Structure 1
Amino acid sequence: MATATAAARPRTGPPDPAPSPDLAGPLSATAGRGVLEGAFALLDALHHREDAGVTTLASACGLPKTTAYRLLDQLVELGAVERSAGRYRIGPGMFRLGQGWQPYPGLREAAQRPLRRLAAATGTTATLAVLYEGQTLILDRTGTDLSRPVPDDRRIWPWYTATGKVLAAWAGPGPQIGPLPRSWPDEAVRIRESGVAYDREEVLEGVCCAAVPVFAAGRVPVAALGVLTGPDQRLERLAETARRAASAITTALRRQHRPAPAALGRHR
Structure 2
Amino acid sequence: MNGRGGIVATAAVTMTSSPGAAGRSVLEGAFGLLEAVERAGEAGLSRLAAECALPKSTAHRLLEQLAELGAVERHRGNYRMGPRMFHLGRRWQPHPGLRAAARQPIRSLAELTGAAVGICVLWKGQTLVLEWAPGKGDEPPAVTHRGMTWPWRTAAGKVLMAAAGPAALPGPASESWPREAADIRARGAAFDREELVPGVCCAAVPLHGRPGQVPLASLCVVTDPAHHLERLAQAAARTAQVIGTRLRGR
TM-score by length of 1: 0.80
**Residue matched to 2:52:** 61
Does residue 238 (structure 1) correspond to residue 232 (structure 2)? The answer is yes
Inter-partner Cα distance in structure 2 for 1:223 and 1:94: 23
Most deviating of 199-208 and 217-226: 217-226
Inter-partner Cα distance in structure 1 for 2:81 and 2:60: 15
Change (3 A) 1:188 1:76: same
**Residue matched to 2:213:** 219
Inter-partner Cα distance in structure 2 for 1:63 and 1:178: 28
Percent of aligned pairs sharing the same letter: 52
Inter-partner Cα distance in structure 2 for 1:32 and 1:180: 36
Secondary structure of residue in 2 paired with 1:120: helix
Does residue 202 (structure 1) correspond to residue 199 (structure 2)? The answer is no
The CA deviation at 1:253 is 1.0
Matches within 5 A, 1:117-196: 117-146=108-137, 148-153=139-144, 155-196=148-189
Matches within 5 A, 1:25-174: 30-146=21-137, 148-153=139-144, 155-174=148-167
Q: Which has the larger radius of gyration?
A: 1
Q: After TM superposition, what 4+ stretches of structure 1 lie above 4 angstroms from structure 2? A: 27-30
Secondary structure of residue in 1 paired with 2:85: helix
Inter-partner Cα distance in structure 2 for 1:148 and 1:32: 45
Most deviating of 112-121 and 56-65: 56-65
The CA deviation at 1:150 is 4.1
Conserved? CA contact 2:111–2:136, under 8 Å: no
Conserved? CA contact 1:147–1:229, under 8 Å: no
Conserved? CA contact 1:118–1:126, under 8 Å: yes
Most deviating of 70-79 and 238-247: 70-79
**Structure 1: gaps spanning 5 or more residues:** 1-18, 257-268
The CA deviation at 1:236 is 1.1
Secondary structure of residue in 2 paired with 1:83: strand
The CA deviation at 1:102 is 1.1
Conserved? CA contact 1:123–1:147, under 8 Å: no
Inter-partner Cα distance in structure 1 for 2:195 and 2:39: 25
Inter-partner Cα distance in structure 2 for 1:20 and 1:103: 31
The CA deviation at 1:63 is 3.1
Q: Which has the higher contact order (CA 8 A, sep 6+)?
A: 1
Secondary structure of residue in 2 paired with 1:66: helix
Inter-partner Cα distance in structure 1 for 2:105 and 2:163: 23
Q: Say which structure is richer in helix.
A: 2
The CA deviation at 1:35 is 2.7
**Structure 2: gaps spanning 5 or more residues:** 1-9
Q: How many residues of Structure 1 are paired with residues of Structure 2 in the alignment?
A: 235
**What is the identity, as a one-letter code, of the residue corresponding to 1:157?**
W
Inter-partner Cα distance in structure 2 for 1:31 and 1:186: 47
Change (3 A) 1:66 1:129: same
Inter-partner Cα distance in structure 2 for 1:114 and 1:76: 37
The CA deviation at 1:52 is 2.5
Secondary structure of residue in 1 paired with 2:171: coil
Q: CA RMSD for the aligned pairs?
A: 2.2
**Residue matched to 1:266:** none
The CA deviation at 1:151 is 2.3
TM-score by length of 2: 0.85
The CA deviation at 1:83 is 0.6
Inter-partner Cα distance in structure 2 for 1:58 and 1:121: 47
